[in-house]
Structure 1
Amino acid sequence: MGYGKFKALIYVLCLTLVLNVIWTVLPQSAKAAELAPLQLEAKSAVLMEVSTGQVLYNMNADIPLPPASMSKMMTEYIVVEQIKQGKLSWDQPVNTTANAAAQIGSRIFLAEGDQHTVKELYIAMAVGSANDATVALAEHISGTEQSFVKLMNDTAKKIGLSSKSHFINATGLSRSDMPAAFRPESPDKETLMTALDAAKLAYHIVTKHPEALEISKIPSYKFRERDTKPMINYNWMLEGNKDNENFRRYVFEGMDGLKTGHTNEAGYCFTGTAERNGMRLISVVMGTKSEPKRFIETKKVMDYGFNNFEKKTIIAQGAQLADVKTVKITKGKENEVPVTAEKEITVVLKKGDTPDSVKIAAAPTPKEKLVAPIKKGQQVGTVTVTYGDTKQNLKLIASEDMNKAGGMKLFFRAIGDFFRDLFSGIKDLF
């Protein structure tokens, strides 16, 4: 072999070795980058996908911390709930109380006796984080702020927040910053929330009352005609700020909510929500050291979600499950009724994962508890969807009506069952 051919052979062998190393290492490096911790400069954080409720990222998300004005999300939720229930209306006038007028911090400088509508005060609360507007709404609903606080804590239990989260006022202010005459009696309690509970609260807002996002996404709002300047939304990441040179660098595509918060004790906090390509995420970042930092850290969390996960429908609505197509029933015209999951089964998968990584298990209700007639849509069991550490529970429902069999049919069926059991018993003897 000549020197030139030998040199060429060595070159080919080296090139092959390098390519093999690249192809071997690259997928591992990509995976390592995807799973690497975000190294957030925050005390806690969480990321949730809304349609499934899946938690995609968790950093100290179960530790209770002061949430500051993020606790106003509970006041916002209750106000819209009361409107839906007919107990309030958007155009209803609200009188400013002494307690509301005495609030400090973020406010719109209401005087005692001032009158504004529920909607005006709600916008001031959601956009400008106005403490005076928040207390005015709270006392209009419950008479006193402390009566409203009881409603807040009762609502927290009702929607499934943990016992680690507790409210002492409608605003999120520290106890020492509340007007002295209106502070709660317990001097040792402060408002605390976990990042996960803040995400759950935001989840209930965006799923039950998505119209609230039409207000939370307002970049600025002029509260009174005489006001020389509009209030500016503390959420710099709103997509509506894309033409605002002061906030443009923080703008995040699809961001339309939800609530910032700041006190000396809490640091800077933010519950954000954004939607892209049909997937809505909720992020919570608590305890950052500066106002810009809460948005910088939120972008890291949101980017992690949108870059690494995607929604996939595993089973379409109305489609039968592979393992359980029917469920046995008692006294029906037929012994079985066709079944399906109550809704489409959708999971948020890591990009690159396949539906094979999702486990679906159906548990039918025992047939002795399913007595005809069975109505279409009636629950006849449960479906558990497992992906990684995440579980979803859905109803298994009848996909058609099943009427009760006539008396004669039940009689002959009973005789058939008797002889079937008899012959089965005799066979077992041998």
Structure 2
Amino acid sequence: MRAHLLSTAVLPFLLASAAPAAAPAAPPFDTPARVAFLIDLSSGAVLLDKGADVRMPPASMAKMMTTDVAFELIDKGELPLNKMCTVRPETWAKWHGPQAGSTMFLSPNEQVSVENLLHGIVTLSGNDASVVLAECIAGTEPAFVNQMNDWAGRLGLKNSHFGTANGWPDNGVTYVTARDLATLARAEIEHHPKLYKQFYAQPSFTWGKTLGSGADIKQDNRNPILGKVAGADGLKTGHTEEAGYGFTGSAEQNGRRLIMVVAGLNSFNQRIEESVRLMQWGFNAWQSKPLFDKGANVGDAQVQLGSAASVPLVAENKIALTLPAGLGGGVKNMKIRYNGPLVAPIAKGAHVADLVVTTDTSTASVPLVAGDEVGRAGFFGRLWLGFKQLVGMA
């Protein structure tokens, strides 16, 4: 089957707005981060790509996968938030004390709800909380890790593998890429919006008691853009000696959401500075222009052996264009790409094509879905279609 590229002539009213001026340059951004990646979800445009496909250890950013597996089970009704999990003494012993990194300060044999463990993972980056939740869900951490890798494959993480529930160094078994981390962050935000809002962006969380006085232990969220970038609401930091300081973050302003990943920074403070600077650059140096509303008819695709000869292609979500701020550039080229003709039956809402938009500075591809259901033609319908093709009517 060959790829059909529908000419931009199908979309003349959009192309009329393209400016004939010289192509504007993409806004520059330099960072000491070994890896930096920034994507605009309103258009799908990649605004910065510095080593986005380089394998790297995620450190605690791996906990986003632990959280997403839990979110999926919760939304399916298979994991109640009020389910109580037991802190096994063996787990507590392994993940207790300064040598165990970030902790929720759990106690042996303590009963903790799934809800509180998720706060301990997301806000406090608790290594202990991650393993306790993994054991509560799957019985053992290795069994849960199998679920993590299975789910990573389903989400389309093409260059990642997980060996632990908390991202602890494991001699290279666990690795990710910045592009995969952004894909994972997007899945959490879009697939589980209520849980995302409930658990991310909490400024602090209190759990555990200090030795001696027994005072409550309150820990602040390490997210470096919370309170510093308008609309910041996630996601997860990470740090080990091997990985350096990293962060996968997101913020939304005026309906426009960005996801960023930085890794390999040298210090806690440098992570704050670079994370804030990159996210502010994404919002200030680029602007979003709407193209199609959600559900808008963008074009049509030919259908083979169907009850209809074509199917409308509609925008699955609102489609926008990302351009350098303050410049007059616009759309240079717009095409609908699909492998076709499409073969019936086709379900309404199925992803059957992509809209490829090329500007002066970037190319973005966004999904288009079938606007109607197209059944398979019956015997006489197929016979008539074959006759039309034979005589050149089709």
- What TM-score results when the alignment is normalised by the length of structure 2? 0.79
One-letter identity of the residue aligned with 2:353 = T
Contact 1:49 1:348 survives alignment (8 Å): no
Determine which of 77, 80, 84 is the counterpart of 1:89: 80
Q: Which has the larger radius of gyration?
A: 1
Distance 1:345 1:224 in 2: 44
One-letter identity of the residue aligned with 1:386 = V
Match of 2:365 in 1: 391
Contact 1:327 1:380 survives alignment (8 Å): no
Per the alignment, do residues 329 and 266 of structure 1 end up closer, same or farther by CA in structure 2, a change over 3 Å counting?
Answer: closer
C-alpha deviation, 1:295, in angstroms? 1.7
Contact 1:313 1:344 survives alignment (8 Å): no
1:195 counterpart = 2:178: yes
Distance 1:125 1:228 in 2: 18
Structure number with higher relative contact order (C-alpha < 8 Å, ≥ 6 residues apart): 2
User: Any idea what the Cα deviations from partners look like across 1:323-352, whole Å, max 9, x if unmatched?
Assistant: x557466685xx755623253561332134
Determine which of 215, 226, 246 is the counterpart of 2:199: 215
Contact 2:60 2:237 survives alignment (8 Å): yes
Q: Select between 109-118 and 188-197 the one with higher mean Cα deviation.
A: 188-197
Contact 1:65 1:193 survives alignment (8 Å): yes
Match of 1:298 in 2: 275
Determine which of 33, 54, 59 is the counterpart of 1:42: 33
- What TM-score results when the alignment is normalised by the length of structure 1? 0.73
Per the alignment, do residues 308 and 140 of structure 1 end up closer, same or farther by CA in structure 2, a change over 3 Å counting?
Answer: same
Per the alignment, do residues 314 and 148 of structure 1 end up closer, same or farther by CA in structure 2, a change over 3 Å counting?
Answer: same
Distance 2:271 2:196 in 1: 22
Query: Helix, strand or coil: the match of 1:390?
Result: strand
C-alpha deviation, 1:155, in angstroms? 1.6
Per the alignment, do residues 113 and 58 of structure 1 end up closer, same or farther by CA in structure 2, a change over 3 Å counting?
Answer: same
List gaps (5 residues or longer) in structure 1. Answer: 1-26, 176-187, 240-250, 425-430
Higher helix share: 1
Contact 1:128 1:231 survives alignment (8 Å): yes
1:172 counterpart = 2:167: yes
C-alpha deviation, 1:285, in angstroms? 0.7
Contact 1:309 1:348 survives alignment (8 Å): no
Q: Identity, % of aligned pairs?
A: 31
C-alpha deviation, 1:55, in angstroms? 2.1
Per the alignment, do residues 330 and 297 of structure 1 end up closer, same or farther by CA in structure 2, a change over 3 Å counting?
Answer: same
Match of 2:331 in 1: 356
Distance 1:308 1:383 in 2: 27
Per the alignment, do residues 257 and 336 of structure 1 end up closer, same or farther by CA in structure 2, a change over 3 Å counting?
Answer: same
Match of 1:340 in 2: 313
Equivalent residues, number: 358
Match of 1:131 in 2: 127
Per the alignment, do residues 100 and 216 of structure 1 end up closer, same or farther by CA in structure 2, a change over 3 Å counting?
Answer: farther
Distance 1:384 1:73 in 2: 30
Match of 1:120 in 2: 116
Match of 1:272 in 2: 249
One-letter identity of the residue aligned with 1:286 = A
Let me know the Cα RMSD of the aligned residues: 3.4
Match of 1:182 in 2: none
User: Any idea what the Cα deviations from partners look like across 1:285-314, whole Å, max 9, x if unmatched?
Assistant: 101111011121112221221123333332
Contact 1:199 1:282 survives alignment (8 Å): yes
Contact 1:267 1:287 survives alignment (8 Å): yes
One-letter identity of the residue aligned with 2:216 = T
Per the alignment, do residues 143 and 113 of structure 1 end up closer, same or farther by CA in structure 2, a change over 3 Å counting?
Answer: same
List gaps (5 residues or longer) in structure 2. Answer: 1-20
C-alpha deviation, 1:44, in angstroms? 0.4
Per the alignment, do residues 48 and 319 of structure 1 end up closer, same or farther by CA in structure 2, a change over 3 Å counting?
Answer: closer
Higher strand share: 2
Q: Select between 47-56 and 268-277 the one with higher mean Cα deviation.
A: 47-56
Distance 2:208 2:295 in 1: 52
1:63 counterpart = 2:36: no
